[in-house]
Every structure is written in structure tokens, then in C-alpha cells.
Structure 1
């Protein structure tokens, strides 16, 4: 085992230890403990899919649309119809998924069941992505990831009443700084609790990235199936304790 792999595994172990320590230290209400069982695995899966798409699918970051929007407008200015179309398709997929997360629960007799259905859809799409050979261009192979990350983003969107993303990190980082500053100014420990929400999600996301990096060489395009391992306990938790997640 090379020194780089050894250091990576040690850092991975440190992240896991930190996550466990933070969770054990929390003496919180039942709902929040159940939220941890949902959001930690989802953030791990989100981080895994982010690095998976980058390493296995032609260097594409597929969890958000900022890059696609930038390239879309650049292509319009350059008069590149194909370039614009290449970006337009994943943007439409992403927007369609967001619309589904609003429309389907509104039409369901038991809207609480939508979160379970969302995870089932994600698990099916993850399986399909793993079946797509590496010979398929990455721009096509990641289309299901664009769709599923949008489903996850707009279905599981708050912990302890705080807006949280399990598929990208920018706002989570922003909120860590905001709540730290508010605690510094007001000495209100509630802001430390809110900050911990974002720290836990960020560490979970990072753990997923590292796990994805370590598994990529051995499993290649099928590495994404590891995400199924994290989705299964989420599905079980939602099925058993779904009423605790009315607001997700």
C-alpha cells in the first residue's frame, strides 16, 4: 500500500470518527436523531456521485447546473447550436425533476410516501448508471445523475429547520460561517447547534467523495452501485419513521 493511500485511509477514518463523535455528543430531540439517519447517508451518496461523475464520466460535475448554465450562455454567444443543446438537455432534466418533487406529492393521497418513492427512483437510476459502459460519452452517461440529484435536492432539503443540501456544498459552507459569526456576536449556543448541522453534512459529503475516489480504480463505472448501500437504510428509515419527516 502506497503512502498516499495510507494517508487517504487515515484521513477517511478521521472523518468517520468525527462524525460519530458529533452524533454521540448530541442530546437532541427524536426527530433530529432520525434526520441524521437520513441526511448523513444521503450526503455520503451525494459526495460519491459528484466524484464518480468527474472520475468515471469524462470530468463532468453532475450534481448542479451552474456550469451548464455558464456554458449554455457562452455557446449562445459563440453561435454554437450543438454546444447550447448539450447544456440545455441536462438543464431541462434538472428542472423537470424539481417540478416532479412538487407535483407528485401534491397529487398523492399520502404525501409522506413521496420521500420513499424518491429514494426508490434514485436507486433504480443508480443501478442504470452503473450499467452504462465507459465507452458511452460522459455527457450522456451522467444524464440520470442530473435528474436524481435534483430529486434528492428538492425532496430532502432541511434539517432542524435549516435549509441543507446533500448534493453540493456552497450554501452549506456559507451557513457554517454565518452561524459561527452569529454565535460569536450573540453567544447564543443555538447557532452552534445549527452550525453542527452543516458541519456534519459537509463531512459526510467529503467522506462520500473520498470513498468514491478510492473505489474508482477497482470498480470503474460500476463504483456508483456503492451508493445503493447508503440508500437502503434511508429507505428503511423513511418507511418505518416516515411521519417524522413531514417537512422534508
Structure 2
């Protein structure tokens, strides 16, 4: 019983609980930037890339320039995450701490600050999270984008229900939980962004702070990414 309790309160890097909380934060940030920053989605770069191409091909091609900074910030976040992985023993906890601090600072910025600054900051934080926490057991997932997770859940559902595959059922349940957590985060983010406006991002920062405190370092010290709660069949 003691070991189970410890596992519940100690968040492991590849655990389902960790993935669900990070997905909740991802959905929250999307809702936050959309509501408080004129309909902008800063955590995913697919739409940003498409807008760049559309604007670059239009007569008002100068507008494409505003899509470049978030794109660069996202790349920078991935590079920083990789650098921290190479240089720091506890790189995952360090990434969480950096994410927490950046989101907290964003909450201090007044509404007069250009939307681009906020978009760049959230894009950077999002890429840090994606590059560092991208495994659910041995399965790849994304805590800020639902498209890939939805495809994985749909594929697993076929194997689970049509072929009665138990491992596929675990996969389907796990990815469904991630998707629902993202949706829940968006709902919560919508409520608080509407009521608290720019300061609402502090809630996301607080959630990341809790994750940082509860993060369980055992697997990271062992230098392995083996699954902790969700296991894939051989």
C-alpha cells in the first residue's frame, strides 16, 4: 500500500497522470491565448505555418512576417530543451521550473503588451513541454496538440473492440484520457480567462509548479524512459 501511495503522489515522466496534467495545461494555454489575445493559438504551429504561406502568397505579403516569430520561438524551445537534456542531470524538472517561471512572468505583463510577445512566450513554453514530455509509457503522444492523439486513440479503439486486444484497450483508454484532459483544460481555461483575463495564466503556472514539486526523479536518474504506469505489449 505504501508503494502505491508513493507512486500516486510522485509524478513519473512517462506516467498517465503526468500526461493528463500536461494535456490539461496545453488545453488551458490554448484557451487563454485565444480569449485574451485575439483568437491566437500559440501552442501549435500547424495553423501558424499555413497562415504564413497564405499571407506570403497574397498581395499583402508583409503580413506573413508576423507568423515568423512564434515559429522561431517554437524551434528555440526545442533547442533549449535538448540543450538542457545534454547538460543537466534533472533536465525534466528544470524544464518544468523554467516553464512555470515564464508563465508567471507573462501574467505580470499588462494588457498593453503586444500580443506577439505573449504568443512567442507561450509558443516557447509549449515547445519545451513537447520536446521534454513526449512519451506515455513507450507510446509517443503530444500534450498540446490533439490530432495525433485522436488518430492513435481511434486506431487503438478498432484493435480493442474489433479484435478484443487488451493492450490496445489500455492504449485507447490512456489516449482518450489525454484527449479529455486537453478538452477539460480548454474548458477551465475559457472560464478563468473570461473572469481573470490576463492573470488567468497564473493558474497554469501554479499547476506546473505543483508538477515540479511532485515530479519523481527515479526513472530519470536511471537514465531510462521505460513505462511506469502504461505498458505496451512486446
- C-alpha contact (below 8 Å) 1:57/1:134 kept by paired residues: no
Identify the range of structure 1 (227-236 vs 164-173) with the bigger mean alpha-carbon deviation.
227-236
- C-alpha contact (below 8 Å) 1:51/1:212 kept by paired residues: yes
2:80 aligned residue: 100
State the Cα deviation string for residues 58-78 of structure 1 (Å, max 9, x = none). Answer: 110111111111111122222
2:225 aligned residue: 247
When the two structures are superposed, what TM-score results if normalisation uses the length of structure 1? 0.80
The 5 A counterparts of 1:130-149 are 130-149=107-126
1:213 aligned residue: 190
Q: Structure 2 unaligned runs (5+)? A: 227-234
State the Cα deviation string for residues 4-39 of structure 1 (Å, max 9, x = none). Answer: xxxxxxxxxxxxxxxxxxxxxxx9xx6997413422
> Structure 2: how far apart are the matches of 1:177 and 1:100?
33
Give the root-mean-square deviation of aligned CA atoms.
2.2
1:189 aligned residue: 166
Higher helix proportion: 1
Matched, 1:123 2:100: yes
> Structure 2: how far apart are the matches of 1:44 and 1:71?
26
2:232 aligned residue: none
State the Cα deviation string for residues 97-148 of structure 1 (Å, max 9, x = none). Answer: 112222321233x2xx110111111111101211222223323322100000
Matched, 1:114 2:94: no
2:155 aligned residue: 178
The 5 A counterparts of 1:1-248 are 34=12, 35-78=15-58, 80=60, 82-108=62-88, 110=89, 113-238=90-215, 241-245=216-220, 246-247=224-225
When the two structures are superposed, what TM-score results if normalisation uses the length of structure 2? 0.84
Distance change (3 Å), C-alpha of 1:139 and 1:33 = closer
> Structure 1: how far apart are the matches of 2:160 and 2:24?
28
Identify the range of structure 1 (189-198 vs 66-75) with the bigger mean alpha-carbon deviation.
66-75
Deviation at 1:210, TM superposition (A): 1.0
List 4+ stretches of structure 1 deviating above 3 A: 30-34, 79-82
> Structure 2: how far apart are the matches of 1:224 and 1:211?
11
Deviation at 1:44, TM superposition (A): 1.3
Deviation at 1:80, TM superposition (A): 4.3
> Structure 1: how far apart are the matches of 2:87 and 2:206?
30
2:230 aligned residue: none
- C-alpha contact (below 8 Å) 1:58/1:137 kept by paired residues: no
